[in-house]
């Protein structure tokens, strides 16, 4: 397994070990010989177990979902460029401030995923962003992966990096106020996917999840099955079932506490270039079938990514999935599908901030209603219905 090289202790982690005793699961070397056959009870002895379960439950609360604003600086730059703004820290700070100080956001949003820069930023008045979120009962989260790279030996596929030093980084993020983490890996249907790519995606997620929990962060598990391709919805279902079977198996082997994780799957839809579009009801049926076949009820919440769907599409599909009770909270973790209208309204101008925040609330409320199965598309703007699929989209 290629990952073994990533687990070597580096200077930062040895420093961390010296400063902080490892959690109670570690045993002294003299017991290792017998310990080899006595596997740890699944995370129930982790000092963070109770907090992880509580945090996951809070994020998976009825009528609420996640606002994903963890775009890397480069990606955020694309967003700013689309409204004619330069990619400066000041602009990024201004944009995130607009979003995170929206009054009443906590009624519809239970968690916000931040990029590292944002986690340490404050409002222009000097109030920490994490405190703004806390005051609205929104849990701060942090993107911890270090992006995708080409996967050697695969069929032009990618793998996600970020395990090096992840433990100490996670501990630092926890200190700063983050309580959940996110790691996004991808799987490509047109490229196979190869067994290698699926195994790597699942294994990386499992390792990340175990490390996150060890350091007090609820891991959001995100294997995105990319929309790119002309495949049918049946093919997507096959691939999704394969990927999630592998993910859960490795999560179990890594002794991850399922009551303390959240999932961020893609919905089961046809590929973007497939000749037939699927209705929200069909997407809901296929997606729920997949979830029922793969997700143990111990998992408290499933927060869908929007992956290029239009704002309205993403909301309609979520609504269709919530027409009857599910054994897990079925909700949203949207970035583009929550922010598109906001950006267009703001245009970078301070006089538009209030209107832009209102636009965010409109979208957040729509998705809140969808989570409760009570959304109707009447009165939605044309802008909100515009698809956002970009072929070959790189994060």
Q: Which of 252, 277, 355, 394 binds another protein (CB under 8 A)?
A: 252
Which residue stretch of 80-88, 206-214, 231-239, 368-376 sits at the interface with another protein (rule: CB under 8 A)? 231-239
C-alpha of 377 from chain center:
25
User: For 182, phi and psi rounded to 5 degrees?
Assistant: -140, 140
Does 27 participate in binding another protein (rule CB under 8 A)?
no
Q: Answer left, alpha or beta for residue 156, where phi above 0 means left and psi between -120 and 50 means alpha.
A: left
248 binds another protein (CB under 8 A): yes
Does the footprint of another protein cover residue 289 (CB under 8 A)?
yes
Q: Is 294 one of the binding residues for another protein (CB under 8 A)?
A: yes
Contact 295/244 with Cβ under 8 angstroms? yes
Q: Which is nearer to another protein, 240 or 342 (CB)?
A: 240
**Identified binder of another protein from the candidate list 117, 241, 285, 383, rule CB under 8 A:** 241
Nearest approach, Cβ of 25 to another protein (angstroms)?
Answer: 13
Helix (H) or strand (E) holding 336: helix 336-346
Q: Does 295 bind another protein (CB under 8 A)?
A: yes
Query: Shortest approach of another protein to residue 103 CB, angstroms?
Result: 35
Q: Is 355 in the site for another protein (CB under 8 A)?
A: no
Reference 305, options 55, 133, 65, 2; nearest CA is: 65
Binding another protein (rule: CB under 8 A), the pick from 6, 245, 353, 377 is 245
312-341 binders of another protein (CB under 8 A): 327
**Which residues are part of the catalytic machinery?**
222, 264
In terms of C-beta density within 10 A (0-12 exposed, 13-18 middle, 19 or more buried), how is residue 37 classed?
exposed
Length of the chain: 395
Q: Which of 292, 349, 374, 385 binds another protein (CB under 8 A)?
A: 292
Give the C-alpha separation, 258 to 255, whole Å: 9
Name residue 220's beta-bridge partners.
182, 262
Of 42 and 274, nearer to another protein (C-beta) is 42
């Amino acid at each position: 397994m290629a990952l073994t090289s990533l687990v070597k202790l580096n200077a930062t982690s040895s420093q961390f070990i010296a400063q902080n005793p490892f959690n109670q699961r570690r045993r002294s070397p003299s017991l290792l010989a017998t310990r080899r056959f006595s596997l740890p009870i699944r995370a129930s002895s982790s000092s963070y177990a109770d907090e992880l379960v509580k945090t996951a439950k809070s994020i998976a609360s009825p009528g609420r979902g996640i606002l994903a604003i963890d775009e890397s600086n480069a990606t955020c730059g694309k967003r700013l460029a689309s409204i004619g703004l330069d990619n400066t820290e000041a602009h990024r700070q201004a944009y995130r401030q607009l979003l995170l100080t929206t009054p009443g956001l906590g009624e519809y949003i239970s968690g916000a995923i931040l990029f590292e820069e944002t986690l340490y930023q404050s409002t222009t008045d000097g109030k920490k962003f994490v405190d703004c979120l806390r005051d609205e009962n929104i849990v701060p989260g942090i993107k911890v992966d270090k992006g995708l790279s080409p996967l050697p030996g695969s069929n032009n596929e990618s793998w996600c990096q970020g395990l090096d030093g992840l433990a100490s980084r996670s501990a630092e993020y926890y200190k700063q106020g983050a309580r959940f983490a996110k790691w996004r890996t991808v799987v490509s249907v047109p490229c196979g996917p190869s067994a290698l790519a699926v195994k790597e995606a699942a294994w990386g997620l499992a390792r990340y999840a175990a490390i996150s929990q060890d350091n007090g962060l609820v891991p959001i598990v995100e294997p995105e099955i990319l929309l790119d391709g002309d495949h049918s919805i049946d093919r997507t279902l096959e691939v999704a079932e394969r990927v999630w079977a592998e993910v859960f198996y490795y999560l179990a082997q890594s002794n991850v506490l399922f009551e303390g994780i959240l999932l961020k799957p893609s919905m089961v839809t046809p590929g973007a270039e497939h000749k037939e579009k699927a209705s929200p009801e069909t997407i809901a049926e296929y997606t729920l079938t997949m979830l029922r076949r793969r997700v143990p009820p111990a998992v408290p919440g499933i927060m869908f990514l929007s992956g290029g769907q239009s704002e309205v599409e993403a909301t309609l599909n979520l609504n269709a999935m919530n027409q009857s009770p599910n054994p897990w909270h079925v909700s949203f973790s949207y970035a583009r599908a929550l922010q598109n209208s906001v950006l267009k309204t703001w245009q970078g101008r301070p006089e538009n901030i209030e209107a832009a925040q209102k636009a965010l609330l409109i979208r957040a409320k729509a998705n809140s209603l969808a989570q409760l199965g009570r959304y109707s598309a009447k009165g939605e703007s044309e802008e909100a219905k515009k698809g956002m699929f970009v072929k070959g989209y790189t994060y």
